[in-house]
Structure 1
Amino acid sequence: MSGLNCMWLSAPTDLTLLPNDVHIWRIELDRPEAQLENLAATLSSDELTRAHRFHFQEHRQRFIAGRGILRQILGSYLGIEPQQVQFDYQHRGKPVLADTLASTGLFFNLSHSQGLALCAVNCDRLIGVDLEYIRPMSDVEALAQRFFLPREYDLMRSLPAEQKQEIFFRYWTCKEAYLKATGEGIAQLEKIEIVLTPTEPARLQTIKDWSLLEIVPAENYLAAVAVAGFGWQLKCWQY
């Protein structure tokens, strides 16, 4: 496995984000009821409406935890209370800081799967993160043929059965991280070429001025972070 196993540290109280820093936060979404109530109190009315649309309580609680903790993280960088963080939404639903906060230059992206979430934060660079729980899928080859480029599909198909799922999710997270950074949709998956092997880290083939980093945030999870440009420093925080 070529992904990076980060050293997840407790964030300092005087959290600072230098111009070339990229911070990745690992967030456990299954939280005690009392904490969920406090987090829900910081959400906007539209976020609460979204939360209550979830049929299953588990999904509703994880959404509240993810958005509430995102607000706490961003508020700590911005020096404001979590409920003061305001979002706008791009045409595909990607949350960004509202115009009133855009002058801060803070970019972020959030991804969640099952009970885990990752939040990527930096200054002045487009950034995207995708997190996937590795689950057994019977149609993994068909999905690869549909969404991947021919040479990506050929590589995956050539591998032993036990490696196919991992390679599929590596391709998927890398493509999604870039598309989330740019705000493009899943329809563009097959236009983004990723070069990787079972033992070598991934890189973006079609886009030259972007960095790509694969992360193993927990057992049975894979993630990727796409960042515009190069020369940045990674720090990994455990919320």
Structure 2
Amino acid sequence: MPAAVPAAAVGAPIRLTGPDGPWDAVREALDVRGSAVLVSRLGDWLPAAEPAVEPSEREVAVLGRDWARYQAMSHEQVRSRFLASRLLLKHAAGNALQAAPETVDLAYKLGGRPYLRGCDQVDISLSHTEDLLVVGLTRRGWIGVDAELESRRLLGTGAEKQICTPHETARLQELPEKQRNLALVRLWTLKEAYSKAIGQGLRFRFTEFGFTPTAGDERVQVLRPDGSPGTGDEWSFGTWAVDDGAYTVSVALFDAGFGDTADIAAHTMLDDGLLDALIDVT
């Protein structure tokens, strides 16, 4: 039996190098913690170095319903990022569900948030920036992930007024000037991750909730605009620098209190007739 850990624990991101994983590390994270954050690169998933090369028959099968969306895209960079991110998401979900990636039925809610049709025991989240791809998986409740270049300039651009609560603005001013932009990037990714987890995306104004600007020893939690606590132990958060500090990745995880649903294999969650109806390999 895996060692017991707090229900809301979030582990550090797992680096994937393509369809070969390493998936054992992902399954271990799901077994032990109930959640996993995966990071990968576009080049790990693209079918060839030449962007004009079309996906293989297997990759078309893995795309499933998204194949039509891919074909409708005209911008090559957008097509490449869409293909790589969906291949990663389908392989990740397939390994979590112990099912072939081409049998995973990916659908989208209003606003574009992806979900696994017929497998609501597993929540998923997707983010990408530049050539970094991030996927979040959980069997405990809701998850949201976000990524941004650590070097992205936000400070002094007016972004602070769109991102920060009064409490955050005051705390940022207390930091050394050279630390403020990185702290603002961290706040941005945490807020993106949290709004994705609750299904609001950019519709939820970032000035209505906050976080501590710096990653200290204290537990990270949502704060009201005045800095008072806004959530309880059901939420947990994490932020990491990945790829030698090139990117900031954040995750927000809500533990719905359903207990530890350890068995999330597709063949045990769905009856045979429903499973057959959900499989779409065309």
Structure 1 counterpart of 2:98: 79
Q: What is the TM-score normalised by the length of structure 2? A: 0.69
SS in 2 for 1:27: strand
C-alpha contact 2:146 2:189 (8 A) present in aligned 1: yes
Deviation at 1:212, TM superposition (A): 0.9
Where in structure 2 are the equivalents of 1:143-222 lying within 5 Å?
143-188=159-204, 189-197=206-214, 199=216, 202-205=220-223, 206-208=230-232, 209-218=234-243, 219-222=245-248
Where in structure 2 are the equivalents of 1:1-239 lying within 5 Å?
8=15, 10-12=22-24, 15=27, 17-18=30-31, 20-30=33-43, 31-34=45-48, 37-38=55-56, 39-50=59-70, 52-53=72-73, 55=75, 57-98=76-117, 100-102=118-120, 105-137=121-153, 140-188=156-204, 189-197=206-214, 199=216, 202-205=220-223, 206-208=230-232, 209-218=234-243, 219-229=245-255
- Aligned partner letter, 1:210: W
SS in 1 for 2:136: strand
Structure 2 counterpart of 1:237: none
- Aligned partner letter, 2:212: V
Task: Tell me the distance in 1 between the aligned counterparts of 2:26 and 2:15.
Answer: 17
C-alpha contact 1:210 1:230 (8 A) present in aligned 2: no
SS in 2 for 1:12: helix
Task: Tell me the distance in 1 between the aligned counterparts of 2:213 and 2:222.
Answer: 9
What count of residue pairs does the alignment treat as equivalent?
226
Change (3 A) 1:8 1:60: closer
- Aligned partner letter, 2:207: E
Change (3 A) 1:152 1:13: closer
Q: Structure 1 unaligned segments of length 5 or more: list them.
A: 233-239
- Aligned partner letter, 1:81: A
SS in 2 for 1:224: strand
Deviations 1:81-134 (A, max 9, x none): 222211232222101111x233xx111111111111111112131111111112
Task: Tell me the distance in 1 between the aligned counterparts of 2:102 and 2:195.
Answer: 28
- Aligned partner letter, 2:88: I
SS in 2 for 1:15: helix
> 158-167 or 181-190: which moved more?
158-167
Task: Tell me the distance in 2 between the aligned counterparts of 1:120 and 1:229.
Answer: 14
Deviation at 1:75, TM superposition (A): 1.2
Task: Name the Cα RMSD after superposition.
Answer: 3.1
> 146-155 or 124-133: which moved more?
146-155
C-alpha contact 1:18 1:123 (8 A) present in aligned 2: no
Q: Structure 2 unaligned segments of length 5 or more: list them.
A: 1-10, 17-21, 224-229, 260-282
Which protein has the larger Cα radius of gyration, Structure 1 or Structure 2? 2
C-alpha contact 2:39 2:133 (8 A) present in aligned 1: yes
Task: Tell me the distance in 1 between the aligned counterparts of 2:139 and 2:153.
Answer: 37
Higher RCO, Cα 8 Å, sep 6+ = 1
Task: Tell me the distance in 1 between the aligned counterparts of 2:133 and 2:250.
Answer: 12
Q: Identity across aligned pairs (percent)?
A: 24
SS in 2 for 1:137: coil
